[in-house]
Structure 1
Amino acid sequence: MPLWSSSQWSWKLGQKDTVGASPQLPRQDYKALQERCLRDGCLFEDDTFPATLSSIGSGQLLQKLPGHLQWRRPTELHVNPHFYSAKAKRLDLCQGLLGDCWFLAALQALSLHQDILSQVVPLNQSFTENYAGIFQFWFWHFGKWVPVVIDDRLPVNEAGQLIFVSSIFKNLFWGALLEKAYAKLCGSYEDLQRGQVSDAFLDFTGGVSVTIKLAEAPRNLWDILSRATYGRTLIGCQTHSGNQRVLENGLVDGHAYTLIGTRKVTCHHKPEYLVKLRNPWGMVEWKGDWSDSSSTWELLSPKEKMVLLRKKDDGEFWMTLQDFKVHFKLLVICKLTPGLLSHEVGQKWSYTAQEGRWKKGTTAGGPIKSHHARNTFWRNPQFLLSVWRPQEGKMFLTPCSVLVSLVQKPRHRHRNRKPHLAIGFYLFRMSRFYDDLKKLPPEFFLQNKPLSFPEVFLPEKEVSKELWLEPGMYLIVPCTSEACQESEFVLRVFSRKHVFYEIGSNSRAVFSKEIVDQTEGQDEVFTKLFEKCPEINAAQLRRILNQLTWSGLGSTQPLFSLDACQSILALMDLNASGTVSIQEFRDLWKQLMLYQAVFYKQDSNQSGCLNWSQLRAAIKDVGIVLSDDICLLMLIRYSGPKLQMDFVSFVLLMLRAEKTESIFQNLTQDGKGIYLQKPEWQMMTLYC
């Protein structure tokens, strides 16, 4: 499923996971149901979301419905219905009676990315081939991609017109069917009446949204928007609060829009910054400067005016960035590539998610409010985060960008029956480790101030924050704004390299106390090791590594051969001296500690070796992207006859893989490929 499609991301979302689907949704096998209908010669009728008023809702929406409401299939509404057409204009949807502009604004942003849209909306469905009145869509729901199956009976008025989402092309029905599937996911059509654009972005992509209050917009807002519109992002925005009333300037208050473009133009020899927006209604547009009828277009060259101006009441319009900041309240950017705001390019990231729960009386500890409150705060779920990242192409550590996302699960089958809790998370630095199987005690929180904390607890589906952290160990504590509030949540971490797990739970810990203690006291140990020889060769490196205690690997201690140490030295030796210095060895040791933690985590049976599936998981944990074919070849190359890889072989593989990645990043011009002269190719193949 889509979030980031770059091959440099280690989270591959192209594979849909039906295992562990949300318990709120009925389990329906799309293929089996379709085949049964085709065999029986009937059209599918979904009893779990029937063509009755119960699927519409039970509140005020019923009062808006036209008389003689009917449910009809697209084959009954048009002589030549199509599910989707790539030839049609992408932004072809119009809002109906339902107040779900937030959903439609997000959907229109999604439609600008064909590959991502096709993952949410399988485009190979049709009303001809294997048509059985059944359709399937995919949504990211509480940490998992889940399929939602519906029949194609849609609510229409007496004239046969769709009363909710429709297309300007009357024979296209993908939008209406997707809206029905989303209504089923949320409980009913009425449960789509109110919402945030960021909620729909999350459900469509599993991405992390950044919300910017335009009254407090950063100075580089234009740069952010420019990178976003030309990158892989979904962008929505919202006007100031209101009742969806059309104002004199043509905007609708309390309304969501899609931002679909930016353009820098020149007027009177000075730049003007324009943004292009679309109203989900498919009509009603801005009437100020740079609107369709504005005279400001005469300030442009005829060619530029012809390219940009389109005089048509289709809901699309231009306005200046300054007017945008004045008349709109929120800007929501869903990140589909890493480092949007930090302007990082061509880097590899890894992703980890953990599920948790706030339970009254045990884990719903509430926030830190006073010393007394800290006695309950420690009861909240606690997650250990070990951040480790070398700067690409260099062997010293620098601060790492870490993106943390906290998503709370809906507390009712119907999305709007219970409001979201106000949530947030705290981050603490770990100067030492207590016990990796028990929660940190109240004393820790009395003695340590958080590095990051929620300034305001937000009643949102997701809250996120981008942090710059020095390599080391941290504690993340998610909580609600009040103690004893119950809900489930997903805590996600995105970074270059990290190990992330819950402590005090039944899950197997990644680090042992001995590992941490050994790392903390390394400077004194390393100084003694190098006091006689400021530089060590492969034989000395072998002796040192074999003398050290590898506490995290259990009873099986690794044995480094001279050949292995020569290979390690070749990868670590930056000045081709045939030796490594104490600083180079310190960096090597930190890498070995990371590899040891990952190896220990995946070696679940403590055999001292990794099999095929364990190796794949370990490589993913380290943050390296290798295809399954290459991973299998590496297992054959570095493992024994039984295809079991020991720790030393795992270290050699990881060091080579990281060095190869670093070389590629240094040589590539576009992130897609490189061109090598013969000597460069020989050096690369022999070196790695």
Structure 2
Amino acid sequence: MFSTVVPYKNQHYSELKKDCLEHKKLFEDPEFPCTNSSLYYRTPLPGRVEWKRPAVIPNWKEQEWDPKHPEYYAGIFHFQFWIFGEWTDVVVDDRLPTINGKLIYCHSKSNNEFWSALLEKAYAKLSGCYESLNGGNTGDAVVDFSGAVNEPISLESGPYRTDPKAREKLFSDLMTVYDRGGIISCSITASPHERELRLPNGLVKGHAYSVTAVRRVRLGHGLLAFFKNDTITLIRMRNPWGKHEWNGAWSDSSEEWQKVGSMERSKMGVTVEDDGEFWMFFDDWCQNFTDTDVCRLMNTSVLSVQKSWCEGVCFSSWTKHTEPLRNRCGGCMNHRQTFLQNPQYVLDLQDEDELLVCLQQRDMKIHRPRGQGENLTIGFAIFKVELNRKYRMHDLITQQNVATSTYINARSVFLRKVLPKGRYVIIPSTFRPEVLGDFMLRVYTDKDCGCRELDLDKPRVRCWSSFVGYPQMVTQIYVHGAEGLENQDSNGGADPYVIISCESSSVQSRIQNDTRDPLFDVRAIFYRKKPNKPVTIQVWNSNAVKDQFMGQVVLPATLKDTAEPQKVSLKKKGGQTAEEMPGKISIRVVTSRELTAM
């Protein structure tokens, strides 16, 4: 879906380079000129800025520099960023801002290496100017560079410092993400006056560290270590400054390394150098860092030895309209009267599944020079709905809210949740109503979930509706469970399921194995053309050869239903006068003549 590359500001790299070579000139980018507007929008730099071209370009094969044919060099580079669902190709010239002959912004430890400065220039161009990059989010940058899905995790407010099981699960998750090519970073929250403050333990506050390894390390020496199988959880980080390291347990020269055999240390690449890279005990990492960004590179390839995901991507906007049914900016669930006016997306989980949801708004940094550029406060809620729902939700009371993300003024919001089989609706929203903006919703599941937007509020009126009929009322049936069902096997159990039918439509629940008191937790909704036809709920026992009828309930489902939970005795087939059968079923029935009531 994202294979097409879009040229930023319609600048085509190959055409621009060809033109420069034909005219024997070096490229000068008119879209990002060497002026103050490309540097800052508010805070001037302390010194005279000179834009200089690098005299030497490293990695010449990759950078298209041929020392034997310097005439092939045109002073133009291009970088691709993943911007709001599409790869964007950004062209820059090689003029870099300096003060006193030194690069002002990003630079390498090697004085003749400039790729990082050129990459930063392309990113600054995409953001409006260099100053717009200040205070950026590490996870957002990784997403822009890779198209990954970012999960921000708070180590400070989460359970990881006090709960060993939660900590162990987090370690396993991080190890899996890292082994699959994911990108992990971490930091220590800092107030404005604490930024870049070095702590006594060697760590720096307000500074992003990249995670370069996550490993279970074997303790001991020789064969004894192999048979004893004692391990410790370690994590390795790198300070991008290339210096200043953790000086606690498992730091480069700490005595803890004596517990690890020389072969294991060599395999881990342990060195005693102030190169900015160091190991930490995972428990210490959780205690000392406050935040981590876990960026997953989602493998959606069908032919893959690694775990692959099914991806669903939807684009839309929060837009305003005076007519409630057409309004799409209803705010969060605090605003119950308008929340369901937001865009709605339905998906089906075929089995119990781990659902990953990422809601992302457009990046706003480019608007900072105009005094704007702040992220909207966004989030989403997930509801378990009727198995046959085709139309938008209009009532919160009759639906089950199974998950709600945090609402935060971040560019993206992430939620990971294991949910049972069923149909679900995701409702993304801004925190306050009548706030406008664009968004992208990404959904990942083990099996294809068919994620799609619910556009219609009720069945369409067709030209043939006058002949075949149009719904007169809507009924929602919720079957909670049953109790005291008849024995169906020699062990005194049963494998029951329910079928809810109305007119020509029906919905079937999952089979509940080996129980006479099943919990069905199933909903169905029917748009009824013939209100006089009842709703039938039948209980069946699943068998290998032929399923066994266990009883039914026939409901008129009229406007008189109170919507209160009720227990009804099962009966044999044959209408209201039929004999009772063992067991009762717990249900709730809601009926309305207003088709947009539910």
Which interval holds the TM-score relative to the shorter structure?
A: 0.5 to 0.7
Give the match's secondary structure for 2:197. coil
1:197–1:256 Cα contact (<8 Å) kept: yes
Structure 1 match to 2:399: 448
1:83–1:173 Cα contact (<8 Å) kept: no
Q: Which residue, out of 44, 54, 57, partners 2:37?
A: 54
Counterpart mapping for 1:235-254 below 5 A: 235-241=184-190, 242-254=194-206
Counterpart mapping for 1:217-616 below 5 A: 217=160, 218=166, 219-241=168-190, 242-263=194-215, 264-266=217-219, 270-307=230-267, 308-337=269-298, 346-361=306-321, 362-369=327-334, 373-385=335-347, 387-389=348-350, 398-411=351-364, 413-414=366-367, 417-431=372-386, 436=391, 439-441=392-394, 444-454=395-405, 456-495=406-445, 496-504=447-455
- How far did 1:299 drift? 3.8
- Aligned residue identity for 1:457: Y
Structure 2 match to 1:73: 53
2:132–2:365 Cα contact (<8 Å) kept: no
Distance 2:260 2:416 in 1: 40
2:331–2:432 Cα contact (<8 Å) kept: yes
Distance 2:421 2:262 in 1: 55
> 1:211-232: per-residue Cα shift (whole Å, max 9, x none)?
2222423232332233233222
Q: Does 1:17 align with 2:5?
A: yes
Distance 1:475 1:131, change over 3 A: same
Structure 1 match to 2:94: 152
Distance 2:53 2:175 in 1: 42
Distance 2:234 2:275 in 1: 18
Distance 2:402 2:108 in 1: 49
Give the match's secondary structure for 1:229. helix
Distance 1:262 1:428, change over 3 A: closer
- Aligned residue identity for 2:282: L
- How far did 1:435 drift? 5.7
Q: Which residue, out of 179, 190, 196, partners 2:120?
A: 179
Q: Does 1:140 align with 2:82?
A: yes
The answer to which of 234-243 and 213-222 deviates more is: 213-222
Give the match's secondary structure for 1:281. coil
> 1:278-336: per-residue Cα shift (whole Å, max 9, x none)?
01111111122222333333443344445533122221111211211111011222112
2:331–2:338 Cα contact (<8 Å) kept: yes
Distance 1:225 1:430, change over 3 A: closer
> 1:24-56: per-residue Cα shift (whole Å, max 9, x none)?
x52211111111111111111111111122111
Q: Does 1:198 align with 2:174?
A: no
Structure 2 match to 1:31: 14
Distance 1:142 1:155 in 2: 28
Give the match's secondary structure for 1:212. strand
- Aligned residue identity for 1:330: D
Distance 1:314 1:523, change over 3 A: farther
Give the match's secondary structure for 1:37. helix
1:84–1:172 Cα contact (<8 Å) kept: no
> 1:56-85: per-residue Cα shift (whole Å, max 9, x none)?
11333x34x4x332111123xx3xx22467
Report % sequence identity.
Answer: 33
Structure 2 match to 1:665: none
* Greater RCO (Cα-Cα under 8 Å, separation 6 or more): 1
Give the match's secondary structure for 1:499. coil
> 1:416-452: per-residue Cα shift (whole Å, max 9, x none)?
843212211111222165664xx433xx223223222
Give the match's secondary structure for 1:240. coil
Give the match's secondary structure for 2:103. coil
Give the match's secondary structure for 1:375. coil
Distance 1:477 1:84, change over 3 A: farther
Distance 2:274 2:502 in 1: 69
Distance 1:306 1:432 in 2: 56
2:298–2:308 Cα contact (<8 Å) kept: no
2:237–2:277 Cα contact (<8 Å) kept: yes
| Bigger fraction of residues in strand | 2
> 1:152-207: per-residue Cα shift (whole Å, max 9, x none)?
1111222x332221222332221111111111111111111112221112111222
Distance 2:277 2:387 in 1: 56
1:406–1:492 Cα contact (<8 Å) kept: yes
- Aligned residue identity for 1:300: V
> 1:476-515: per-residue Cα shift (whole Å, max 9, x none)?
1100111122211001112211222222279x99xxx99x
The answer to which of 27-36 and 167-176 deviates more is: 167-176
Distance 1:31 1:132 in 2: 11
Residue segments in structure 1 that go unaligned for 5+ positions in a row: 1-10, 86-122, 390-397, 528-579, 584-688
2:127–2:365 Cα contact (<8 Å) kept: no
Larger Rg belongs to = 2
Distance 2:152 2:60 in 1: 31
1:232–1:337 Cα contact (<8 Å) kept: no
Distance 2:437 2:286 in 1: 36
- How far did 1:337 drift? 4.2
1:411–1:487 Cα contact (<8 Å) kept: no
Distance 1:426 1:388 in 2: 16
Distance 1:337 1:267, change over 3 A: farther
Distance 2:414 2:208 in 1: 21
Structure 2 match to 1:595: none
Aligned Cα root-mean-square deviation (Å)? 3.4
Distance 2:129 2:254 in 1: 42
Give the match's secondary structure for 1:33. helix
Distance 1:480 1:283, change over 3 A: same
Give the match's secondary structure for 1:445. coil
- TM-score after normalising by structure 1: 0.59
Give the match's secondary structure for 2:139. helix
- How far did 1:377 drift? 0.8
Structure 1 match to 2:102: 161
Give the match's secondary structure for 1:450. strand
> Aligned pair count?
442
Give the match's secondary structure for 1:245. coil
Distance 1:277 1:504 in 2: 47
